[in-house]
Structure 1
Amino acid sequence: MIADFSHREHTLAKQKLEIPVHVGDDVELEVESLASSGDGVTHHHGYTLFVPHTLPQDRVKARITKTTKRFGVTRVIKRLHSTPDRVDAPCAVFPECGGCKIQDWDYSKQMEFKVRQVQDALAHVGGLNVAVGIDPVPADQPLHYRNKANYAIEKRGKKPSIGFYRQGTHHVVDHVECHTLMEPITAIKEWLRGLIESHSLSIYNERRHTGFLRGLVVRHSAATGEALVGLVTTHGEFSRKFMDDLTDEARLKSFGIQGVIHNINRSKTNVILGHENITLWGQDFFREKLGELEFHLSLPSFFQINPYQSVKLYGIVQSWVEGTDGSVLDAYCGNGGISLWLAKAGCEVVGIDSAASNIEDAEQSAHLNGITTCRFLNMPLERAFQLKEELAAVKTVVLDPPRKGCSQEVVTGILEMKPDRIIYVSCNPATLARDLALMQGYAVRAIKVIDMFPQTQHVETAVLLERE
């Protein structure tokens, strides 16, 4: 009997692993939902299939391109029926570029999708049963909102391609205009393209690690009209003739450019910026403005990519802090955006960040705005919890970690502090849910999904927790 039972279990296990499709098969599919990656998801005889470049309610003929034990991947051959929620994407290289995966989806549906991402993560990743609803905060300006572009450059044929990498590759999709970028950024990039072509600048080849020009960085402020330009290269210098055209003062001022920076990146890496900066013209910073605050920003400094939605985010954080006791710890403070906003509203704030350039910018911005109620510390957050006296008055902790979320050491350090409230700002619903589940003794009081990245699958969330 034991032998028969074992044989039956082995047979069932084999059946469970049987995949109903093979690479190269063509199948008709109806897309059920969108994954967090922005790809369509459906099932074929119970087997999960990802269908890139589709939307819920699309019906397509697709070819199987990959299978695993848990899921398969397809490529659309023909769209048989389109969802009524599809709109015309304005971008000429959509969906080839892959940067804005849901640009052809009605904006109200984009917001529903982002709220659902947070709901699903809280339930399935965090195992949380949250009593409060999730409030969407849509963008008033869902196009032309991005204030920074990191352009890759690739030599194909006689002319360089300047644009962004196609998803999952290092193939540059050349384009003139990106509809999520502020329009002056495009104008500056196309001016630089003309200079690069007319002077036949050597373009970097990442496979051979040869060539000179690696990329372009353009930052712009809609509020001040100022811009900053970075040219990223391997080791070397620009020719005198190129420099003469590049530093044409009348042309630079017409674009609002405050400085042109030569950033040197000698490494075999896909990290955009190197550590060495040389100012070729003007100054090494520009000014951004949010509300009544001015910010001093250098080429590498972190700043929220969407200033219009940043004002809403900062206002939400301020509303959750107003009328409370004690000081505020702004963990992962970056260039001090939230710190300075709260200090301007009357709070005592300690901002902590591990990047020295961020802290330098934050201190410059504090001086620029005459703010004296902010202290900034340059150190890893994990080390900061040892500063018992510095943090003794803290009653509110604001967390805005990178996509990987908080380390266990950070979570433990915060819980040992026992603040009255924690405000968690997240760009990743999965790590947000994971970390919230670790915040023992705290209850979720409010959740806002602020759409910082319209047309993309990326989700920004702000959560208020209070000590029970």
Structure 2
Amino acid sequence: MQCDYFHAARCRSCTLMGVPYAVQLADKQRHVADVLAAVAPDVEWLPAHAGPEAAFRNKAKLVVGGSPGAVTVGILDRGGSGIDLRHCGLYEPGLAELVPRVADLLDRLGLEPYDVPRRRGELKHVLLTHSPDGEAMLRFVLRSQKHLALLRSRLPLVLDTLPEVRVVSANLQPEHKAVTEGEVEIVLTEADVLPMRVGDVELFLRPNSFFQTNTGVATALYRQAGEWVARVDPGIVLDLYCGVGGFALQAALAAGRRDRVVRGVEVAPEAIVSARRSAAALVASGATRADLDFAVGDATDVAVLPPVSGVDVEVGTAGAKETSLVVVNPPRRGIGPTLAAWLDGSAASHVVYSSCNVESLARDLARMPSLGAREARLFDMFPQTGHHEVAVLLERRP
């Protein structure tokens, strides 16, 4: 991949830029295999899955700099001045066309960019998410409500200029620190969700929803989990850290039992609302007859959660007749000792662990000696960087 910003030393976010992509992929595979070698000595590594090395990002997280009428969108230099990266080559088609138009629109709107060194101004970031169907979500991260009325009054201009934008919101982030967004989100459009088609499932992303940055590779990750579920054919699937429901919905579609019970648990209430909407659409379409539901809860406290729609979230007890499988997709810190110990002592026959940090994954696997790693696969979500995603199928030892 050729990047003029990188070679001009304007942006060095892509730390592996210039390294041939085949070498990047081989190095990542070697690294994750080496880290897991001690805790998963018998694991079978499936071929790594990689998408395109450029034009893959479905999100743009743009720091806004400059001045009214002459904004920059991209990053800040060490002095806090804006560096414009509106033509970054990582954006997928559609998003790559949208970002420069958003930058031009900001000049017309007259919002005052936040000046980090002087701690004044209002517009901190612009966050864009693009769907496979060409729709987009646009979020303005503001320091306060000072420009909120102006933004509301100019919403028709935003929608006329950017007809592919379905959802527009204002996020309030009043603190002067390196945090992209705040807790308060004000949706300005009638639509409040962005449909995101991922394989055979339609997810519904709200402004605060988490979704993988690389739609194509995320689709492959969900498909792999679905293949493992089909092979195990469990009667019960529990998806922890389920987010908007990607793994749970894929489990509901997986081959095998038509009456499979699938439950998702997630701490974010808005994500559960979205997951239930996707589940209702899937059931209504006739694509699945699974007993599918989601509940708000902290996955790290799963051992003390109440029953979810009549199904014990402890996935049965020792000697249970139903085959059960648990999916975990935690943040970088991993699942931690409490949840690992619970999984190790549970009646679950299999665990699918999706990890974005192989070091925390290795620590967690060491805490679950009753579960052996059978298969693993690297999913390269983030070409040009050292970041990785690894999925592992664990099976209870005899």
Structure 2 length-normalised TM: 0.86
Identity across matched positions, percent: 28
The aligned amino acid for 2:332 is R
Q: Does 1:302 find its partner at 2:210?
A: yes
Structure 1 residue 318 displacement after superposition: 1.3
1:118 and 1:169 mapped to 2: Cα distance? 36
Q: Match for 1:270 among 170, 178, 181?
A: 178
The farther-off stretch of 268-277 and 210-219 is 268-277
Aligned to 1:318: 226
Structure 1 residues 237-246 or 355-364, which shifts more?
237-246
Aligned residues of 2:122 and 2:147 also touching (Cα < 8 A): no
1:101 alignment partner AA: T
* Structure 1 residue 171, shift from structure 2 partner: 5.8
Residue 452 (structure 1) aligned to one of 364, 381, 392: 381
Say which structure, 1 or 2, has more relative contact order (CA 8 Å, 6+ apart).
2
**Equivalent position amino acid for 1:138 in 2:** H
Cα offset, 1:284, TM superposition: 1.6
Distance change (3 Å), C-alpha of 1:237 and 1:282: farther
2:325, 2:348 within 8 Å by CA — same for their partners in 1? yes
User: What's the secondary structure of 1:444's corresponding residue?
Assistant: strand
TM-superposed deviation, 1:188: 2.6
Question: How many residues in Structure 1 have an aligned counterpart in Structure 2?
Answer: 374
1:259 to 156, 163, 167: 167
Going from structure 1 to structure 2, the CA distance change for 1:172 and 1:112 (only over 3 Å counts) comes to farther
Unaligned 5+ runs, structure 1 = 1-87
User: Which of 178, 184, 197 is the matching residue for 2:94?
Assistant: 184
TM-score (norm 1): 0.74
| Separation in 2, partners of 1:145, 1:291 | 16
Mapped partners of 1:135, 1:111: distance in 2:
14
**Do residues 382 (structure 1) and 300 (structure 2) align?**
yes
**What displacement does 1:197 show?**
2.2
Q: Could you report, residue by residue, the CA deviation over 1:153-187 in whole angstroms, capped at 9, with x for unpaired residues?
A: 22379833211356x98664321212111232233
1:242, CA displacement in angstroms? 6.1
1:147 Cα deviation after fit: 1.0
Q: 1:170 to 1:400 in 2, by over 3 A?
A: farther
Does 2:48 match 1:137?
yes
- Tell whether 2:332 aligns with 1:419: no
1:465 aligns with 2:373: no
**Match status 1:441 vs 2:370:** yes
Cα deviations across residues 245-299 of structure 1 (Å, max 9, x unaligned)?
542344332xx11121111222233222222222323412111101221111111
Q: Secondary structure at the match of 2:6?
A: coil
1:102-126 CA deviation, whole Å, 9 max, x = no partner? 1312111111011111122124xxx
| Aligned 8 A contact 2:64 2:125 in 1 | yes
Q: Distance in 2 between matches of 1:434 and 1:349?
A: 27
Find the aligned partners of 2:171 and 2:150 in 1 and give their Cα distance.
19
Residue in 2 that maps onto 1:333: 242
Which amino acid is the alignment partner of residue 70 of structure 2? K
CA–CA separation in structure 2 for the residues paired with 1:199 and 1:320: 50
CA deviations on 1:52-76 (whole Å, 9 max, x unpaired) are xxxxxxxxxxxxxxxxxxxxxxxxx
| Runs of 5+ unmatched residues, structure 2 | 317-321
Alignment partners' CA distance in 2, 1:281 and 1:419: 44
Q: Does 1:173 align with 2:83?
A: yes
